[in-house]
A and B are shown apart, each in its own frame.
Chain A
Amino acid sequence: MALTVPRLRRLDPLGALLAVAGATAVMFLPFVIFKSNRVVPGDPRGLLEVLPAWAAFACQASLLLAATAALGVSNARVRLGAALLGVTVVALAVAAAGDALTPAGNKVVRVAPGAGVWVLLVCLGLLATDAITRMRPGPGRRVLFLAVFTAAAGLALAHGTFDHLSVMREYAVNADRFAREARQHLWLALGSLAAAVVVALPIGILCHRVPRLRAGVLGTLNVIQTIPSIALFGILMAPLGALAGAVPLAAALGIRGIGAAPAAVALFLYSLLPIAANTVAGLKRVPRAAVEAARGMGMTNWQVLTGVELLLALPVILTGIRIVLVQNIGMVTVAALIGGGGLGTFVFQGIGQTAIDLVLLGAIPIVALAFSAAVVLDALVEVMDRARQ
């Protein structure tokens, strides 16, 4: 009887890279940083020092499983499952370490994830990203992945799983302000986007209809995009301040040289180019035959524009809106420097106080917001593009 010997598969090169990086992180980098209060320097702790032996062992076994999958399994679903298991286990282990290192009722000690955790999360994230890329999920599935992941993270946060970690400690102290700044952040990003759509869409249509205008208008908008955000904020502060000083009504409406007004105006200006340029590109892409046919059937100019041209150009215009939204979410951060509020407030406060946890309290939601906006709008563009064909 012949034994079936399992054929040794060639090692997956990406898997090998990630497994080595992950193993190094577990062995040589601190798992968590312990501080007896917010200002003292941290004290690195390894996985075995902070968790009971059985838990540390279970954690390492799960990570070993993920590494094995990364090295030798080619099925993308299995790889994704292994990566997500790893992420969950690492997150729970960090949370458990926070609980274990915090004496009951103590609100002064700080437990933060160490470099080891960050490296592990990056490796597992890469493994998951690679698996998802190989699975080529459709737009619906991608949004579903995002929703499930967001729900899981939201549930864990609401349940208080991570309450003993330093970022959440910062959150607990700033909870009211956090809600306010997050609202302000979204408000600035979306408000300037909405205003830009209202203005840039007609500009784009005009540039499409009057080619003579195109180079000049798009060139000017391009120059605005080139000016660094903080510089544009600064440049706008002077005229807006002067306006508020000269026109009492403007001041009464909340227009001031400092604060949200210059930020909103700057974001609005930045948003014009991608939307106008994509409107032009989208309208250019509309087949002439479709427009001719619509005219031939007796549609009015307005009907041709709204019923045929804009409809067919919509995916490209939406791509422009996606670019603007992601760009705005990031740029609002800088508005905090001129008193415009938003989550950037925590980032710059944290930088000022050398408090990384405060930086992360601002930076993590910003990145999550921008990433989610990109996933959702990309999916929307893809659905529309498919519907067109």
Chain B
Amino acid sequence: MPGMAAILRLAALALLLAFLLTPQSFAPLFAPLTQYGAPPIYDQGNLLTLALAHLGTVCCAAAASTLVAVGLGILVTRPSGAQFLPLSRTLVNIGQTFPPVAVLAVTVPLVGFGEKPTLIALFAYGLLPIFENTIVGLQTCPAAVLEAASGMGMSARQRLLSVELPLALPLILEGIRLSLVINVGTATIGSTVAAKGLGEVIIAGLLSNNNAFILQGGLVTGLMAILLYDALAGLERRICRTAHLD
């Protein structure tokens, strides 16, 4: 079975790369979906550039959310920040009921069109899963391990860096993976507010009634999301295995 998964993974990656690098060679496949001689392959921009811009936006936002969310998660699990813990948990729960699209839509009027609202919405929405998983990860460190760490004379900082964070790492990574995958989707919608990304392809298809464009945009983002999810899940498994945290 793992062999099968590896083959599928490689095939998906190969397909994605082939399509992004030589989109025109797929034209015959998409031609039946078009009407009245419309172009079968997106022609209003370079697909590879769009995909890279899309990925760039998503990763920038995720990096910022990771920094802030992990920092806040550490803060509210220290004795000095403990009184903010119940509130932050409630806020995370409430925040997760906000649809990402609504976050995006509400950001536009505040900062205008373009990359900015998308980045802000992705950043804000990406905070939640990482923050939640950081808190859970730090709070579920076995009590005996923490007791032993203090008992051996580790300072609070040493304990955090060399025991608590390494033990919480798999969960934090899972949070980052969830937020990246959500972001890939939300960034698509960012194209409705003029952010550069693969959403452009789908929107263009919707506007010109070109099913081929819609399918291309959908397939590329879908493949990207799945590959990203899969790659990060693999990384988590590897870290867990080398650190024996299963």
- Interface residues of chain A, those whose CB is within 8 Å of chain B, are 13-14, 126, 129-130, 132-134, 215, 223, 226-235, 237-238, 241, 257, 326, 329-331, 333-334, 337-338, 344, 347-348, 350-352, 354, 356, 359-360, 362-363, 366-367, 370-371, 373-374
Q: Residues of B at under 8 Å CB distance from A?
A: 1, 33, 83-84, 86-87, 89-91, 93-94, 96-102, 105-106, 108-109, 113, 181, 184-186, 188-189, 192-193, 199, 202-203, 205-206, 211, 214-215, 217-219, 221-222, 225-226, 229
Partner of B93 from the list A232, A333, A374 (CB cut-off 8 Å) is: A374
- Assess whether B105 is in contact with A363, with CB atoms less than 8 Å apart: yes
Q: Are A228 and B83 touching (Cβ within 8 A)? A: no
Contacts of B199 in A (CB 8 A): 230
Nearest CB in chain B: distance from A161 CB, A: 23
CA–CA, A260 to B82, complex, Å?
Answer: 47
Is there an interface contact between A129 and B218, defined as CB atoms closer than 8 Å?
no
**A233 and B218 in contact, given A226-B226, A228-B188, A347-B101 (Cβ under 8 angstroms):** yes
Residues of A within 8 A of B113 (CB): 354
| Given known contacts A13-B83, A228-B185, A351-B192, A359 and B218 CB-to-CB distance under 8 angstroms | no
Are A351 and B193 also in contact (CB < 8 A) when A130-B87, A226-B226 are? yes
A241 with B211: CB separation less than 8 A:
yes
Our pick among A232, A338, A350, A366 for the contact of B99 (Cβ within 8 Å) is A366
Chain B residues in 8 Å Cβ range of A356: 108-109
The answer to whether B192 and A348 have CB atoms under 8 Å apart is: yes
Q: Is the interface of A mostly helix, strand, loop or mixed?
A: helix
Given contacts A231-B221, A333-B102, A347-B102, contact A238 B189 (CB under 8 A): no
Neighbour of B97 across the interface among A132, A326, A344, CB < 8 A: A326
Task: Determine whether the beta carbon of B226 is less than 8 Å from that of A129.
Answer: no
**Are A351 and B108 closer than 8 Å at their CB atoms?**
yes
Distance between B55 CB and nearest chain A CB, rounded to angstroms: 13
Q: Are B102 and A235 in contact (CB under 8 A)?
A: no
26 contacts between A and B (CB under 8 A): A14-B83, A129-B94, A132-B90, A133-B90, A228-B222, A228-B225, A230-B189, A230-B202, A230-B221, A231-B221, A234-B202, A235-B222, A241-B211, A330-B98, A330-B100, A333-B102, A334-B189, A347-B102, A351-B108, A352-B192, A359-B105, A359-B109, A366-B102, A367-B97, A374-B93, A374-B97
Q: Give the Cβ gap from B92 to chain A, nearest Cβ, in Å.
A: 11
Q: How far is A373 from B96 in the complex, measured between Cα atoms in Å? A: 12
Q: How far does the alpha carbon of A310 sit from the alpha carbon of B186 in the complex, in Å?
A: 36
Residues of the B chain whose Cβ atoms lie less than 8 Å from the Cβ of A126: 87, 91
**Residue pair B215, A238 in contact (C-beta under 8 Å):** yes
Q: How far is the CA of A360 from the CA of B203 in the complex (A)?
A: 22
Cα of A154 to Cα of B187 in the assembled complex, Å = 34
Residues of A within 8 A of B98 (CB): 330, 367, 370
B219-A231 in contact (CB<8A) = yes
Q: Which 5 A-B pairs have the closest CB atoms?
A: A330-B99, A228-B185, A234-B218, A356-B109, A231-B218
Q: How far is the CA of A142 from the CA of B202 in the complex (A)?
A: 42
Verify B97–A232 contact, CB threshold 8 A. Answer: no
- In the complex, what distance in Å separates the CA atom of A239 from the CA atom of B97? 32
Contact yes or no, B202 A223, CB < 8 A: no
Excluding A330-B99, A371-B94, 10 further A-B contacts by CB distance (< 8 Å) are A215-B1, A226-B226, A231-B221, A233-B218, A235-B218, A333-B101, A356-B108, A366-B99, A366-B102, A371-B97
CA distance A356 to B102 in the complex (A): 12
- Tell me if A329 and B185 are in contact (CB < 8 A): no
Is there an interface contact between B99 and A367, defined as CB atoms closer than 8 Å?
yes
